[in-house]
Amino acid sequence: MVRTCREMNATGINQGTAGNLSVRLGDRFLITPSSLPYDRMQPEDLVEMAFDGTYVGNRRPSSEWRFHRDILKARTDIDVVLHCHSVYATTLACHHKTIPSFHYMTGVAGGTTIRCAKYATFGTQALSDYAIEALEGRLACLLGQHGQISLGKTLESALWLANEVETISRLYVQALTLGEPPVLPDDEMERVLEQMRRMSYGQAPDLDGVNDVARPKAS
């Protein structure tokens, strides 16, 4: 977790003490502490929390522990919650913009859009409730006037997704300078999502069978 937090800052998707990270630990979870720079954080600084909100450790848990707790409780399909204030995702979040399927890679978040949750004060139950709503059927969302959340089964997958969300956010911000871009239709996005599912299971991404026939090697 400490290494992942430092990679968040190294890749530029987070700055200073912003952002936080949690990992499921059986019937409990580990979460980063409040107000401690990642370059000073050590494994013993991580806070172990129960789903009733109680905790043990040398430090206080992140002020955003509520949405970490609630997401992990609601989403048994994932084990990691990563929150950061990446610049382009936050730029869109400041305008409460949902990212449409203007580019097929929007599908990495699990659907045809990357939604933006309504604004609520940081650390509140309202923010947690809005995040849960925006993450319905998704692996990532923006938080209105705040930042982004990305989910994963592993630390590596959550970090990868957070960087992908930032990349697609940057593309969308840049595309908007030329006007609202065209959006791929839902039936095409369904094909994209099926391709992505096949690839995640280690299968060839082609749906039409054109790669199914072995071709002779060039002489």
Residue positions annotated with a catalytic role: 64
Question: Please, are residues 148 and 142 in contact by the beta-carbon 8 Å criterion?
Answer: yes
How far apart CA 140 and CA 151 sit, in angstroms, is 6
**Helix-strand-coil split of the chain, %, nearest 5:** 40, 15, 45
Question: Please, are residues 186 and 110 in contact by the beta-carbon 8 Å criterion?
Answer: no
99 closest CA partner among 200, 174, 158, 205: 174
Burial class (CB in 10 A: 0-12, 13-18, 19+), 202: exposed
Residues 26, 29, 30, 33, Cα dihedral to 10°: -170
Q: What is the token pair recorded at 86?
A: 């990446």
> Dmax of the chain from CA atoms?
68
The region that residue 157 occupies, defined by phi over 0 for left and psi between -120 and 50 for alpha, beta otherwise, is alpha
How far apart CA 68 and CA 19 sit, in angstroms, is 12
